[in-house]
Amino acid sequence: MEDFINETIDTTKLPKFEEIQFSSLHTDYWKVKLLNLAVFFTILGIAAGIVLYLNEDFLPFIWELSILYIVLLIVILLLSRISFKKMGFAFRNHDVLFRHGIIATNTLVIPYNRVQHVALHEGLFSRFFGLAKVEIYTAGGSSSDIHIPGIAKEQAENIKQLLMGKIQKQL
């Protein structure tokens, strides 16, 4: 056996990903989120209206249900805004980082040698604002995949080309 060395690593001298400057999502992505929420709450309101119309037993509770609907709308809007503000991404020489979360901030770090496939996805509202979502699939399964929404389409295509180039170098 060759000169096998297994020394202890000083973890205090490792580079800290917390010091990385993350790129924010495109500001128009907030508009996309608002439009998606508007569609969801419109459908929810119509469904609730139909239930109230067809079942008169709920009519005495219309004020309570309306207040519940409005509170739910406000809470979801606030949580969506916090989530939007906390999301960020960064590309380094050897890996990609994606930060997200509402209460707890999660940071995924994916080395390029784990990337197997890269895709772009444009939703209906995202396409209207010229945005795309970069989907990075890894060998680790769906729990280690990264989906970075709210990136300008041209930038998303550049990111895809960068990652595809990294994949080709590995082959």
CATH number of the domain enclosing 166:
2.30.29
Within a domain: 9: no
CA count, 13 A, side-chain hemisphere, 81:
6
CA distances from 24 to 16, 18, 38, 54 (A): 19, 15, 23, 46
Q: Which run of H or E residues covers position 24?
A: strand 23-24
**Counted domains in the chain:** 2
What integer pLDDT is reported at residue 17 of this predicted model? Answer: 65
For 86-124, write each residue's pLDDT tens digit. 999 999 888 899 999 998 889 898 888 888 889 999 999
The mean predicted confidence, pLDDT, of the chain is 89
From the list 144, 60, 52, the residue with the least C-alpha distance to 98 is: 144
What is the pTM for the complete model shown? Answer: 0.82
122 and 67 within one domain: no
Domain region containing 129: 89-170
pLDDT at 45 over 70: yes
Rounded Cα distance, 50 and 67, in Å: 17
